[in-house]
Amino acid sequence: MRFDVVTLFPEMFSALTQWGVTGRACEQSLASVQLWNPRDFCRDSRKTVDDRAYGGGPGMVMMAKPLDDTVAGIKAAHRDAGIESGPVCLLSPQGERFSQKIASDILKLGNLTFVCGRYEAIDQRFVERNVDMQISIGDFVLSGGEIPAMAIMDAVIRLIPGALGDGESAAQDSFMNGLLDYPHYTRPEVYENLSVPDVLLGGHHAKMADWRRQKSLELTLRLRPDLIESARANGLLTREDEQFLRSL
């Protein structure tokens, strides 16, 4: 999976490319992250990428030309490498709310370009000319698109076969089956007078699977009932699941 990222702060992405699961995936060439700074495509001595907004208002607006030229440079690099360019994605509060399903859909693309905005906004003419999709990670405001881009990339890279030490880890993550994950325990068996549930100590795999499924349903109903309704609508709940939910 290849990510091209348009950002004024490429240094921020070392947190993704040099550490943890995502860092190992980049080191093993399971994922690649190419960083592109619009200032490198500016032709004036000050490397200007923003200006005042027409009509007034607070803050500055990122100019269309440097971003246009940056995206053109990315597509040229793709052509030179024999790579088909994927969509251009803007991190924006106007975008579709990010989800595990979208992470899976992005992985299928093989290549995606992120545009990380800064300042008050991006010139709408760049958006209309270049952006194919917009994604939001929630209804709140950040200083730029870098952190949302890294969050999305982390979620996608985890899904790449071989990125995690255990191939089952991603399949058992929260949201993969439409529900929250079940509780997890490790040693010691008793901590501060709290014991690991007996079912997890007995070695009966079928009983452990049933317990985990029920705990997942119970937690989801209590903390995110909206996910229960969504799972039901998408046919992800079994007859046994429905019987257990009615018993709660």
CA gap 212, 205 in Å, rounded: 10
Q: Which of 93, 96, 97, 240 is catalytic?
A: 93
CA gap 31, 155 in Å, rounded: 12
CA gap 146, 152 in Å, rounded: 10
Question: What is each CA distance from 201 to 185, 188, 207, 216, in whole angstroms?
Answer: 11, 12, 11, 19
| 129 included as an active-site residue | no
CA gap 76, 124 in Å, rounded: 23
CA gap 133, 127 in Å, rounded: 10
CA gap 156, 133 in Å, rounded: 16
Name the token pair of 50: 């923003």
Q: Which of 120, 154, 181, 210 is catalytic?
A: 120
3-state class (DSSP) for residue 34: strand
| 58 included as an active-site residue | no
Q: In what order do the strands lie in the sheet with 50-52?
A: 50-52, 60-62, 121-122
Q: Which of 4, 123, 158, 241 is catalytic?
A: 158
| 120 included as an active-site residue | yes
Place of tokens 């949302």: 148
Q: Which of 69, 173, 181, 210 is catalytic?
A: 173
Beta bridge partners of 60: 52
Q: How many CB atoms lie within 10 A of CB 79?
A: 11
* Amino acid occupying residue 77: A
| 11 included as an active-site residue | no
Contact present, 136 and 93 (Cβ < 8 Å): yes
Active site residues: 93, 120, 158, 173
